[in-house]
Amino acid sequence: NCSCTAYAYDLGIGCMIWSGSLVDMQSFLGSGIDLNIRVAHSELKTHSKRAIMITAPVLGSAFIAAVCILLACRKFKKCPAPEKDTSAEEILFQRMEALASANESASNQINRKELPLFEFRVLATSTDNFS
């Protein structure tokens, strides 16, 4: 019978069917009979199509944004910060000037630009590797 409201089955009694409201309910101690109740499909908990239509694009967009941010972070970590275009001689001169100004008094300073600059390779060769 497809128009029933609920049904149950017991080995001793057989099939029990309820139509309309659930009256004449009995308690069967120890037998643990399952009572099956018919409900409309709309009453079941299901995901609505609207929720899926909203959730799927939002999650997809969030995933794509996260991937783009991750790739951008990796790219910026690999690229060093742009440095000023200075030659090795200028850097060496700046370091020498900073050291000299810290060690000498203001009256004893001379113009450091007049001092000759040598590359490490030239000094190492001329001194036989500082031996």
> Is the per-residue pLDDT at 111 higher than 60?
no
Place of tokens 């990796």: 74
More confident residue, 107 or 2: 2
Percent above pLDDT 70 for the chain = 62
Q: In what side-by-side order are the strands of the sheet with 6-10?
A: 14-18, 6-10, 35-37
Predicted confidence band at 4 (pLDDT cuts at 50, 70, 90)?
A: confident
> Is the per-residue pLDDT at 107 higher than 60?
no
Per-residue pLDDT of 63-105, as tens digits, reads 999 999 999 888 887 766 555 656 667 777 777 777 666 656 5
Is this model's pTM higher than 0.85 or not?
Answer: no
